[in-house]
A and B are shown apart, each in its own frame.
Chain A
Amino acid sequence: MNGLSYWQLLTLVAPETIVALTAIVVLGVDLLVMREEPLRNRFRIGAAFAALGCLAAIVWLFTLNLPSHALGADIALPMLKGMFVDDPLVRLVKVALLGLTIFTIIISMESSFTDHVGEYLALILLAAVGMMFLVAAEDILMIFISLELTSLSLYILTAFNKQNVKSAEAALKYFLFGGMSAAFTLFGLSLVYGLSGSTELREIGAKLNQPVLDPLLVAAIVMTVIGFGFKVAAVPFHLWAPDAYQGAPTPSAAFIASGSKVASFFIFAKVMMFGFSHASGSGAWHDYVPGWLPVLGILAAFSMLLGNLTAIAQSNVKRLLAYSAIAHGGYALLGILANGPQGVTALIYYVVTYGVTVLGAFAVVGVVEERAGDARLSDFAGLGRREPILAFCMMIFMLSLAGIPPLAGFFGKFYLFTAAVGGAKNLGLLWLVIFAIAMSAVSLYYYLQVLKQIYVVPAPGENRIVAAPISTRIIIALLAVVVLLLGCAPDLIVGPLLAAIQFAGFQ
């Protein structure tokens, strides 16, 4: 290898390597040493290993010096190009992903839905590795491979509850839709390669600069958007989401809703903004120019509309969260529509805080489900009396999702909307932002329905004691604190993001 030894390569991808090795260790330890241990111990020890591995990767990400090229100096790594990008922004996103992974692991620690502990934890870690590579990729080949690694792990994670037929059904649905979307993505990307002769996003962007849209390019863009639309569950490619969320074991659903969302949105933004930088068009009011912006604008509008309206009709909290996730996907698309550094910052802040919030919400749902056997709205009745702390945390999560200050969800929306309005000239995207704000007012209704069950409706019959495991309680409380803290001091994330984004080359 000219200029880059394997050792250098290994140090460059050290965080990913650490996590991958941890996956193997967890798998091995569980299979070889702990077969005879009780399930609870196996889960605890395995989860401890897994979480420590992620933590080590985070520490590494913070301590490892950035290669000089990432800070603006023009010394490109000859072999890597877009295969593996290492800049401050990517690192921040990776840290966020690893954080979400750790939370997911701790939430699953007390589960009893499977006795394949090693495999379960290893798959979570492998999915995390996939996501880490995904966010670091600016090369369509690499993007596709990491996307597949992530997706395959997530399909299996969805199917992991073997006692529940719904879990299998959900996984099959998720898998079939995911496979389709992969085909679309691949087809789109191959057209892109054919048109540009390059696999590197920025080169592609520079080459695809005809003033008039080539029909082939249109096909490529549409295919790619469809592919990623499936990943982020944008309407009309959302059909898998409600079933997958409801059927999957709760920690898996939480991971799909949080980590996978963060990575997918980030890479979606990169592909669009770098790869198709000259074909953006405009979705502004009275200023329509064909391109991917108007397409995304319509996807965003439909996601918000359908997600929010359908969520109102749900009686199962997991499904409600799934439809709300579709709606939130619609809001997040505004960050890509803003088509600039502010938009990307807002997008990352939004999806990361959304990930934290929804993880917490799923953790609470998991606790309720464990006792009641299901997660219907009525199963939450009286939670405020039985479990004041859990209920209070759930209130924070729900209100953050609804966008009530001073919680993270509020600032996230505010920032996204501001970026979107500022992103197009003459307030061109205001129509979409107005729509988003109106829909967000609708969403308060169903989040309040959940809170009404928790605080207003008395518990039916006997007071069942919900004894949530202590680790779950701590993690839920911690997540609630994070949501509150990031809402009161958004600068904790926004500051570093704004500092990092200038090296990432978004214009």
Chain B
Amino acid sequence: MLAWTVYISFIGVLALMLVPAGQARAARGIALLTAVAGFLLGLVSAFAYQPTAGIMTIVQKPWIPGLHIDFFLAADGISITLVLLTGLAAIVGILFSWNVEHRTKEFFAFYLALIGGVYGVFLSFDLFLLFVFYELAIIPKYFLIAIWGSTNKEYGAMKLALYSFIGSAMVLIGIIAAYVVSGAHSMNLLELAKYPYPASFQYWAFPLVFVGFAILAGLWPFHTWAPTGHVAAPTAASMLLAGVVMKLGAYGALRVAMTLFPLGLEAWRNEIAVLAVIGIVYGAMVALVQKDFKFVIGYSSVSHMGFVLLGLMTLSSIGLSGAVLQMFSHGIIAGLLFGVVGRMVYDRTHTRELPLLEGMNLSRALPFAAGTFAVAAFASMGLPGFSGFPAEMSVLIGAWRTFPTFAVLAGLGILIGVAYTLLVLQKSFFGDAAPTPEVPAHPLPPITVPERIGAVILLATTLLIGLYPKLLLDLIVPSFNSPLFEALRNEALRKGGIL
């Protein structure tokens, strides 16, 4: 059934292509229907899934028999968590793009193609198939930004496309080498994970594949596409970029690089953890000094994704689960923040410059937006009660056991995070300029119903997971016991870990 999340998205793309031009309402309807259907499919599967069952095969059919490549879709708790995230992000993104009037049907067609690719990555257990979906997601991103974006859109779009493509080129080299070295018998991840690759091979293959994926997760110093891309993108696309696409990178790094090359991971673990911590602190510090509202959120994404990568490097059950939970949590929170900035504020005020916004008294003009952003900001800071708290806490606990210094530094990153978040909250909505007597020439249009629904969905989710993280942790934690992670577990065990 989960496979239909992928199929239905592409069916949605086809349906949109058949919509006659100018029928914006129909296009929106189809897009929303598709996204909701995808999410519901994910939700039902999540309830039907038995976490103890490990990896659930969905479809496995020979695809290119000559090369032993299968069409192999499967899911474990990690996949399901991220599928749920994708579903939510897709729905809310569409609600937040309800006002797209320029080439509406093309917009949603590219949007759904991107969503379909993302679902595909999260569900593929054949390396070739995974890569196909992974690259499939590049092109819609380019067009979404280049056509519907703002500030410097063509530059941002091209930069994002090339960064993604270079990352996937690195991954491709690793995949081909891994496939050939293992005797070219299978592309099945479960099979490949069993193959004992020589340490010398893993030593160079691991960083290649890991970094190739992690470019998309905003790994410092390859993160520069993220702020420019996010800023240039239209609201829905930046919600997806930060909410889902960056998770593709982290997911690939975990699912492919770490499971296939545990020895390589061991060799490079400290270096990557250093980069992750630099990302956390650097992203936060740069966010502190940005003038553009969206750049603040863009750099905060780099910082928060650093926690995911740091969590992955802890190689402990709690750290890894925290990393996956953080993927989910950041997806929701970043989506919300970008939604408020891009749709609620920018579409109405036509500026994102914080000094200008400061004088606008937005908390009065747009009370709902102010409230949403305030709550989202608290969630983003990692306040208890929101999903960011259990996620970043688990990562820090995991990191504390393995690299105490890094944990302290990452904690410092959280503090800076509090600083920039409060700062931007204050500047954007609660500017202390005296209320100007003259009413703005054009009163800002009120927040629409779709925006409210979208914001409420995301707020409720982050609150729900914050108060009851067990909902997702019950899915995530047992996943690390599956045979896919066996080599990784053994490696962790050898080093005295406890995965």
A→B interface (CB under 8 Å): 345, 399, 404-406, 410-411, 414-415, 417-418, 421-422, 427, 430, 433-434, 437-438, 440-441, 444-445, 448, 451-452, 455-456, 490-491, 494-495, 498
Contact = CB atoms under 8 A, between A and B. Distances in A.
Interface in B140-165: 142-143, 146-147, 154, 158, 161-162, 165
Interface residues of B, number: 32
B231 to A, nearest CB: 18
Nearest to B149: A456
Contacts of A411: 64
Given A418-B180, A441-B165, A448-B161, 16 more contacts: A404-B136, A410-B135, A411-B64, A414-B172, A414-B176, A418-B184, A422-B180, A427-B181, A430-B177, A433-B173, A444-B161, A444-B162, A445-B158, A448-B158, A491-B63, A494-B64
Contact of B66 (A433, A438, A498): A498
A376 B179 CA distance: 42
B44 interface: no
B233 to A, nearest CB: 14
Contacts of A427: 177, 180-181
A427 B205 CA distance: 12
B63 A418 contact: no
A131 to B, nearest CB: 26
Contacts of A498: 66
18 contacts: A405-B132, A406-B132, A406-B136, A414-B176, A427-B180, A427-B181, A433-B173, A437-B173, A440-B169, A441-B166, A451-B143, A452-B146, A491-B63, A491-B65, A491-B66, A494-B66, A495-B65, A495-B66
Contact of B147 (A405, A421, A456): A456
Enumerate the 8 nearest inter-chain pairs by beta-carbon distance, A residue then B residue, closest first: A405-B132, A441-B169, A422-B180, A498-B66, A494-B66, A437-B169, A421-B180, A456-B146
Given A399-B139, A491-B63, A422 B184 contact: yes
A440 B184 CA distance: 23
Interface of B: 63-67, 128, 131-133, 135-136, 138-139, 142-143, 146-147, 154, 158, 161-162, 165-166, 169, 172-173, 176-177, 179-181, 184
Given A404-B135, A491-B66, A437 B161 contact: no
Contact of B176 (A410, A421, A494): A421
Contact of B139 (A404, A417, A421, A422): A404
B169 A448 contact: no
B132 A410 contact: yes
Contacts of B64: 411, 490-491, 494
A404 B154 contact: no
B176 A404 contact: no
A437 B136 contact: no
A271 to B, nearest CB: 25
A490 B142 CA distance: 26
A491 B176 CA distance: 19
Given A418-B67, A491-B66, A404 B169 contact: no
Nearest to A445: B162
A421 B173 CA distance: 10
A448 B133 CA distance: 19
Nearest to A421: B180
A448 B184 contact: no
A414 B176 CA distance: 8
